[in-house]
């Protein structure tokens, strides 16, 4: 019998992306944290638990020794809704298999990888069950499997799901592992679970495999936030749920009182938090219970931080696709839900509609007179292609829906367009990825059209020139620019002229727009030290004017420059840095 106190354990995070769970850096998912807590609860000393991301293993060969020498190696990962990532690269199947080959001790893997493995992490693909040469595959909760495996002396376990009491213990006990993440503490956002499972049964989705919704009490979530906050975490996202509005209720109807206890409790134990965002909100909940939904959305917008996004799973605006795939919301219903979220939460801090200063204001608000921050909470739209019943007309239905939203003066934070992955156990398994493959070229053309005709003008509405984005973390250089993002749900990618120090954090004022990204300059930009590239990025300043600005330095005030609205971007720091 193996004594837990003697075990050395290595957890490898290959990153996850599920319909209601995200863990690609700068996010850390619940899986490695809960697995670490389960190990501690089973008797493994905390100091004998090592955590590494897959990117660490790629970047440092010496780290592989921890995989090789561990008595137990735990791998967590799996992509069921893959996308494009900036902060990290999810593990590919061959890399996961190499982990199993390298581990001399017992190896176990779990997470959404249990739903299936494809040749690569991409849409328009089919998957198959594959143990990738690990000793054990957890077909339920990997944290429960890890706990039972250690309890059995590494002999085995029965697949099971953990209960709320175990989750509460393991969430607090495993909070320490965040300190081993390469991004800790400043550029790390913790994905928080409020529930899992879903009452609906969309054809392609893996979330119903967790069963009907099972909610954590607010006290359990708040206790976890408290533990993570004690470990230096300041960024949180309530992303691990199918529908935040249904939290604490019967699984479908909103429960505003539970949301008030949840959000209020988080703010109480982490008063210094810098990000509090969410992910999924079911539009059918908004339209079926509009008054309760409005109250719940209002509570969220009072407690969250700006730039938050409620992802709406419309999936398809085509009524035939809707019926063939058990989708639960029509295009008209989704439009109404978009309108309600805009009205209740589309206000900008410090501007019209801000309940702290303007009880009579209205939202959404945008344009020249709008406050210079991102709206508090906006809907995002998820569209999935390759579903049963999809035809060329499906693409037209989707475009008409998006155009209707834009033409109505409403705002969407983002439109997420992807191709389906067909997993065993879902209704799409029979259809597979054939429709997506047949429509691949049409999909590419349509996606480009949406980016040009909807995403770009919508982004100009959501973040007009002069919008201030605080605390942009600089991540990489490309083509003479520095790119970075805020921490949060679907953060905007920001390009800044010049190559600035990576890892630094700057406030940015938006100057221009791409399809899903913006250009900006450090805010406020000092006229007396700004580069030519920074000056020409400001609307209304061409190279000739920028040259004049440089030649005529120093300035005492921005009023000396005859450019409309330049005060939205620049300042003059008493001649400091003048040429």
Range of the domain at 488: 467-571
Q: What is the DSSP letter of 500?
A: P
Looking at the structure of the chain, the number of domains it has is 3
β-bridge mates for residue 375, sequence order: none
- Give the residue from 283, 311, 231, 328 showing the smallest Cα distance to 33: 231
Q: Is residue 279 part of a domain?
A: no
Residue 544 burial (CB count, 10 A): 9
Q: What is the DSSP string of 51-79?
A: EEEHHHHHH-GGGHHHHHH-SEEEEEEEE
Q: Are residue 133 and residue 156 in the same domain, yes or no?
A: yes
- Give the residue from 205, 203, 190 showing the smallest Cα distance to 242: 205
Q: Is the dihedral of CA 370, 375, 378, 384 positive or negative?
A: positive
pLDDT of residue 397: 97
What crossing angle do the helices spanning 218-230 and 164-173 adopt, rounded to 10°?
A: 10
Q: Are residue 323 and residue 457 in the same domain, yes or no?
A: yes
Q: Are residue 329 and residue 456 in the same domain, yes or no?
A: yes
- Give the residue from 42, 47, 41, 111 showing the smallest Cα distance to 74: 111
Q: Are residue 109 and residue 65 in the same domain, yes or no?
A: yes
Kindly report, residue by residue over 123-135, the tens digit of the pLDDT: 444 455 567 789 9
Q: Is residue 189 part of a domain?
A: no
Rounded Cα distance between 355 and 202, Å, is: 37
Kindly report, residue by residue over 307-350, the tens digit of the pLDDT: 999 999 999 999 999 998 888 999 999 999 999 999 999 999 98
pLDDT of residue 516: 86
Q: Is residue 193 part of a domain?
A: no
Q: Where are the beta strands (DSSP E) in 62-201?
A: 72-79, 106-110, 125-126, 136-137, 189-193, 195-196
Residue pair 85/24 in contact (Cβ under 8 Å)? The answer is: yes
Q: Where are the alpha helices (DSSP H) in 477-562?
A: 532-537, 543-551
Helix count and strand count (H, E) for the chain: 19, 24
Helix or strand run (H / E) with residue 144: helix 142-151
Mapped onto helix, strand or coil, the DSSP state of residue 352 is: coil
Q: Are residue 27 and residue 157 in the same domain, yes or no?
A: yes
Q: Are residue 369 and residue 393 in the same domain, yes or no?
A: yes
Domain end, chosen from 462, 495, 522, is at 462
Taken as a whole, the chain contains a residue count of: 579
Q: Is residue 211 part of a domain?
A: no
Q: Are residue 471 and residue 453 in the same domain, yes or no?
A: no
Query: The domain that contains 336 carries what CATH number?
Result: 3.30.750.200
Query: The domain that contains 564 carries what CATH number?
Result: 2.40.50.140
- Name the stretches of the chain with pLDDT < 70: 1, 82, 115-130, 208-209, 353, 356-362, 574-579
Residue pair 184/232 in contact (Cβ under 8 Å)? The answer is: yes
Q: Is the dihedral of CA 121, 124, 129, 133 positive or negative?
A: negative
Q: Are residue 513 and residue 424 in the same domain, yes or no?
A: no
Q: How far is CA 341 from CA 10, 338, 393, 467, in A?
A: 43, 5, 28, 21
Query: The domain that contains 58 carries what CATH number?
Result: 3.40.50
Q: How far is CA 348 from CA 35, 304, 509, 570, in A?
A: 39, 12, 15, 21
Q: Are residue 336 and residue 432 in the same domain, yes or no?
A: yes
β-bridge mates for residue 109, sequence order: 75, 137
pLDDT of residue 408: 96
Domain end, chosen from 165, 188, 209, is at 165
Q: Is residue 282 part of a domain?
A: no
**Which residues neighbour 443 within 8 Å (Cβ) at sequence distance 6 or greater?**
385, 386, 395, 419, 436
Q: Is residue 72 part of a domain?
A: yes
Q: Is residue 551 part of a domain?
A: yes
Residue 3 CB burial class (10 angstroms; 0-12, 13-18, ≥19): exposed
Q: Judging by DSSP bridges, how do beta strands 125-126 and 421-422 pair with one another?
A: parallel
Q: Are residue 453 and residue 530 in the same domain, yes or no?
A: no
Residue pair 92/121 in contact (Cβ under 8 Å)? The answer is: yes
**369-394: string of b/e by CB count within 10 Å (b at 16+)?**
ebbbbbbbbbbbbbbbbbbbbbeeeb
Q: Is residue 288 part of a domain?
A: no
Rounded Cα distance between 578 and 265, Å, is: 49
pLDDT of residue 577: 45
pTM to 2 decimal places = 0.92
Q: Are residue 115 and residue 8 in the same domain, yes or no?
A: yes
> Residue 304 — φ and ψ, nearest 5°?
-80, -175
Q: What is the DSSP string of 446-496?
A: HHHHHIIIIIHHHHHHHS-TT-EEEEEEEEEEETTEEEEE-SSSSPPEEEE
Q: Are residue 453 and residue 519 in the same domain, yes or no?
A: no
Domain end, chosen from 142, 165, 188, is at 165
């Amino acid at each position: 019998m193996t004594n837990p106190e003697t075990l050395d354990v290595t957890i490898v995070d290959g990153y996850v992306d599920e319909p209601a769970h995200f863990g690609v850096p700068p996010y850390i998912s619940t899986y490695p944290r809960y697995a670490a807590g389960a190990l501690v609860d089973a008797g493994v000393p905390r100091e004998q638990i090592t955590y590494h991301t897959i990117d660490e293993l790629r970047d440092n060969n010496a780290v592989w020794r921890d995989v090789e020498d561990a008595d137990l190696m735990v791998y967590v990962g799996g992509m069921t809704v893959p996308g494009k990532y900036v902060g990290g690269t999810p593990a590919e199947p061959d890399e996961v298999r190499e982990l199993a080959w390298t581990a001399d001790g017992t190896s176990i893997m779990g997470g959404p990888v249990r739903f299936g493995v494809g040749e690569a992490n991409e849409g328009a693909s089919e998957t198959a069950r594959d143990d990738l040469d690990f000793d054990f595959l957890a077909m339920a909760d990997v944290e429960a499997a890890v706990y039972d495996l250690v309890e059995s002396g590494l002999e085995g376990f029965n697949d099971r799901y953990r209960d709320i009491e175990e989750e509460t213990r393991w969430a607090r006990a495993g909070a320490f592992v965040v300190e081993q993440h390469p991004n800790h503490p400043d550029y790390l956002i913790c994905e928080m679970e409020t529930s899992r499972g879903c009452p609906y049964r969309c054809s392609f989705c893996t979330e119903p495999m967790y069963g009907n919704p099972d909610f954590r009490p607010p006290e359990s979530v708040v206790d976890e936030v408290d533990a993570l906050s004690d470990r230096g975490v300041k960024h949180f996202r309530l992303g691990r749920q199918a529908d935040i509005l249904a939290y604490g209720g019967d699984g479908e109807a909103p429960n505003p009182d539970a949301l008030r206890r949840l959000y209020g409790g988080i703010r109480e134990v982490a008063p210094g938090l810098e990000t509090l965002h969410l992910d999924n909100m079911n539009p059918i909940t908004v339209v079926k219970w509009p008054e309760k939904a409005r109250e719940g959305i209002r509570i969220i917008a009072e407690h969250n931080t700006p730039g938050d996004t409620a992802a709406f799973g419309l999936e398809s605006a085509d009524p035939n696709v809707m019926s063939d795939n058990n989708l639960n919301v029509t295009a008209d219903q989704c439009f109404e839900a978009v309108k309600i979220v805009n009205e209740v939460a589309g206000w900008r801090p410090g501007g019209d509609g801000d309940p702290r200063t303007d009880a009579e204001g209205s939202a959404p608000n945008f344009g020249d007179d709008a406050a210079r921050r991102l709206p508090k909470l906006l809907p995002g739209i998820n569209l999935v292609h390759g579903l049963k019943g999809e035809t060329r007309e499906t693409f037209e239905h989707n475009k008409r829906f998006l155009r209707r939203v834009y033409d109505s003066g409403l705002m969407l934070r983002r439109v997420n367009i992807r191709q389906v992955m067909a997993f065993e156990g879902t209704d799409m398994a029979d259809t597979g990825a054939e429709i997506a493959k047949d429509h691949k070229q049409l999909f590419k053309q349509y996606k480009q059209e949406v980016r040009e005709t909807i995403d770009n003008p919508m982004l100009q509405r959501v973040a007009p020139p002069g919008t201030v984005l605080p605390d942009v973390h600089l991540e990489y250089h490309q083509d003479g620019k520095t790119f970075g993002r805020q921490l949060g749900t679907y953060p905007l990618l920001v390009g800044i002229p010049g190559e600035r120090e990576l890892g630094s954090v700057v406030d940015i004022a938006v100057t221009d727009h791409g399809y899903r990204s913006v250009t900006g300059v450090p805010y406020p930009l000092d006229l007396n030290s700004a580069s030519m590239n920074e000056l020409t990025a400001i609307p209304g300043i061409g190279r000739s004017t920028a040259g004049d600005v440089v030649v005529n330095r120093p300035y005492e005030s921005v009023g000396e420059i005859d450019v409309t609205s330049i005060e939205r971007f620049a300042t003059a720091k008493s001649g400091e840095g003048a040429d």
